[in-house]
């Protein structure tokens, strides 16, 4: 017998400065160095103007590493999160590609369900593992304390984490085993 969606909600709404894996920070600033960053002979930037953009981000750092007062890291790892309607890649707009992503067959992305949380209704979203950011823990805590946010709940949070791990642990072999053709290999 399948469990009902009420028994396993995808999201909760949280507030305060507690940060956990699966927290979604909407319109969060991310900083980007210029493409033509001038570097001195010592390898240091001569001068730089950084731009910032607002992005929806999801926390990928492990919750245990973000335990308040016992942090095991100084920077929180995030991935970009795009609403289905925001995807600029026309390939990702195709239903058959989204279905492949839903089934976990596209290692660079992960789909999360639409949110029906009151005041936080959101469409299906795509987590892009190719776009990774970090922000200081203290900054993220201060930002978290300012407003409520969606939090991806278990077991969906762990499913996301596992997909992220699979993306990074891929190994490309220099010579693969030839495909099986029906003839004796």
- In this prediction, residues 128-144 reach a mean pLDDT of 96
Mean pLDDT, range 46-66, rounded to an integer: 90
Task: Please give the residue that has the higher pLDDT: either 16 or 90.
Answer: 16
pLDDT band at 58 (very low <50, low <70, confident <90, very high): very high
Mean pLDDT, all residues of the chain: 90
List of domains in the chain: 11-31+51-168 (2.30.30.110)
CA torsion 5→9→10→14, rounded to 10°?
A: 160
Nearest C-alpha neighbor of 141 from the set 59, 53, 50, 31: 59
- Give the separation between CA 124 and CA 176, rounded to whole angstroms: 36
Q: Residue holding tokens 């890649």?
A: 89
Tens of pLDDT along 15-54? 999 999 999 999 999 988 777 777 777 877 777 777 889 9
How much is the pLDDT for 70? 92
Q: Stretch 108-131: mean pLDDT, rounded?
A: 96
Per-residue confidence at 94, pLDDT binned at 50, 70, 90? Answer: confident
- Residue 183 above 90 pLDDT? no
Average confidence (pLDDT) over 71-93 = 90
Token pair in block for residue 92: 């990702």
The whole-number pLDDT of residue 20 equals 97
Give the whole-angstrom CA distance, residue 72 versus residue 138. Answer: 13
Q: Which of 28, 30, 17 is closest to 144 using CA atoms?
A: 17
- According to the model, what pLDDT value does residue 100 have? 93
Q: What is the structure's pLDDT at 33?
A: 77
Whether 15 contacts 51, CB under 8 Å? no
Note the pLDDT of residue 38: 75
Total Cβ atoms within 10 A of residue 76: 26
């Amino acid at each position: 017998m399948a469990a009902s969606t009420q028994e396993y909600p995808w999201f909760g709404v949280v507030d305060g400065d507690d940060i956990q894996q699966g927290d979604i920070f909407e319109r969060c600033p991310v900083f980007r160095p210029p493409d033509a960053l001038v570097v001195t002979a010592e390898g240091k930037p001569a001068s730089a103007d950084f731009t910032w953009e607002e992005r929806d981000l999801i926390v990928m750092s492990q919750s245990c590493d973000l335990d308040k007062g016992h942090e095991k890291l100084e920077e929180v790892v995030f991935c970009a999160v795009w609403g289905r309607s925001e995807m600029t890649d026309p390939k990702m707009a195709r239903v058959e590609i989204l279905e492949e992503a839903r089934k976990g067959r596209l290692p660079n992305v992960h789909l999360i369900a639409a949110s029906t949380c009151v005041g936080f209704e959101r469409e299906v979203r795509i987590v892009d593992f190719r776009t990774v950011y970090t922000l200081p823990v203290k900054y993220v805590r201060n930002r978290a304390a300012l407003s409520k946010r969606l939090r991806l709940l278990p077991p969906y949070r762990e499913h996301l984490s596992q997909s992220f791990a699979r993306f990074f642990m891929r190994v490309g072999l220099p010579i693969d085993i030839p495909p099986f053709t029906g003839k004796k290999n």
